Amino acid sequence: MEHDGEVRHEDQQQEPTQVDSPQVGASRADTSDALFAAPEVDPGPELGPTGRPWPEPPDPEPLTEHGPAVVIALCNQKGGVGKTTTTINLGASLAELGRRVLLVDFDPQGSLSVGLGINPHTLDLSIYNLLLGRDATAEEVIRPSEVEGMDILPANIDLSAAEIQLVSEVAREQTLQRLLRPLRARYDVILIDCAPSLGLLTINALTAADKVIMPMECEFFALRGIALLTDTITKVQDRLNPDLEVLGILGTMYDPRTLHTREVMERVVDAFGDVVFHSVIRRTIKFPETTVAGEPITTYASNSPGAASYRLLAREVLQRCHAG
């Protein structure tokens, strides 16, 4: 009996060991997992299309009074890079922020006028009459747009003759500057849509401007165009307008699906750094549609990514102007 009791006593002593054993194994497994688990990595700030941390420009404070205007020329001698589209939609976005805006169509093709529903062929008076004629006043030529707070100084093919006629004028490079001087008190921002050339009209625009924005299509040939334009701006700064500043380079027609587009943007940022706007305008069918509709994307497709991009650009432009 005693022997049986001893056996039972031994069995009772072994039971806790059999129960505890799985728990010890599980504890070791947990410790092993903890030792070899990958450490948590801080993803850091979100990167934008330019490869830099995505900023959040503050909303500008409302204005208590208007003027004097900052004059911004949108310039690139290469055609089809989005100068006119940017002028229209940036102007509309600035107007949404309570700024009083004047758009100056300084391209004989009159694309800016067409983009806001004005037929340049039916114009009785245009910017040409203000540049070289004495038969019109700015009040007679300026037209209101469908966007509240945004006016337009239209142009047509007559402007092409101005480049020839200005050659014989005294201080020919300052002609546009003299035209805009009395208008600056009425507006907060004046945007000049330049012709796709580096001729006398473009020199006039750069001489009249305080800042210049260079829209650049995200493709290889655009890089060379930016280099040529930069040389021209340097000459204007040296000889005609020492106060001219480059406000920024704007990437347009950006398509993140293509390696070429991303490589071009990377090279531009490497070359120009923070001069490149964080805002990037992506390709979308909405922009050609807005031209047909004769209105900016901010009213045609207000909730589209294109409208959001230009609203972000407007805040970034005002932030840079204020900082400058």
Q: Average pLDDT per run of 10 along the chain, which is 324 residues long?
A: 48 49 52 56 69 80 87 90 93 95 95 92 91 85 94 93 87 92 95 91 95 90 83 93 95 87 88 91 86 89 90 94 70
| Pairing relationship of beta strands 245-254 and 150-153 according to DSSP bridges | unpaired
**pLDDT given for residue 9 in this prediction:** 47
**pLDDT given for residue 1 in this prediction:** 47
- Quote the CA–CA distance of 10 and 160 in Å, as a whole number: 111
**pLDDT given for residue 171 in this prediction:** 85
> Is-cis flag, bond preceding 49, omega within 30?
no
Note the pTM of the prediction, 2 decimals: 0.83
* Backbone Cα Rg of the chain: 31
- Quote the CA–CA distance of 191 and 74 in Å, as a whole number: 7
**pLDDT given for residue 33 in this prediction:** 58
**Structure token digits, residue 231:** 């040389």
- Quote the CA–CA distance of 167 and 162 in Å, as a whole number: 9
End-to-end CA distance of the chain: 102
**Structure token digits, residue 62:** 């409302």
Q: Locate all alpha helices (DSSP H) within the chain, ordered by sequence.
A: 2-36, 83-96, 111-115, 127-132, 138-141, 159-165, 175-180, 200-208, 220-239, 259-272, 286-293, 297-300, 305-323
**pLDDT given for residue 110 in this prediction:** 92
DSSP assignment, residue 167? G
> The tokens 């490149």 sit on which residue?
276
**pLDDT given for residue 218 in this prediction:** 83
> The tokens 């004005």 sit on which residue?
118
**pLDDT given for residue 63 in this prediction:** 85
**pLDDT given for residue 205 in this prediction:** 96
Determine contact, residues 220/264, Cβ cutoff 8 Å: yes
